[in-house]
Amino acid sequence: MTTPLTVAPVRHADGAAGLAVAGEIDLSNSHLLASALDSISGPVRLDLTGVTYLDSAGLSVLFTHAERLDVSATPLIAPVLRMSGLTDLLSRPT
């Protein structure tokens, strides 16, 4: 059984927009992350520390928005971001 995906908006003390993401990001729910990212204009601080699984559908969403993302990830997810080449495109690599 997969862990449901939650995507919650976050407003940081400095006014920066962010999203806190938890659960598994896969083909069945990556559209939720895409919609949340599409709803925010400008830079986004993306907290993936609650993510336990990320497949190619989730990576595709992240690649689409990479140039405006500041991503935080756990040691479980960070290697996936590096090996995919995504960290080379991020505004601030994990």
Map out the domains of the chain as residue ranges.
Answer: 17-88
What is the layout of strands, in order, in the sheet containing 17-25?
Answer: 6-11, 17-25, 44-54, 69-72
Q: CA quadruple 34, 23, 94, 80: dihedral positive or negative?
A: negative
- Tens-of-pLDDT digits for all 94 residues of the chain? 678 999 999 998 998 999 999 999 999 999 999 999 999 999 999 999 999 999 999 999 999 999 999 999 999 999 999 999 999 998 765 5
Calpha distance 6→29 (Å, rounded): 10
Domain 17-88 has CATH 3.40.640.10: no
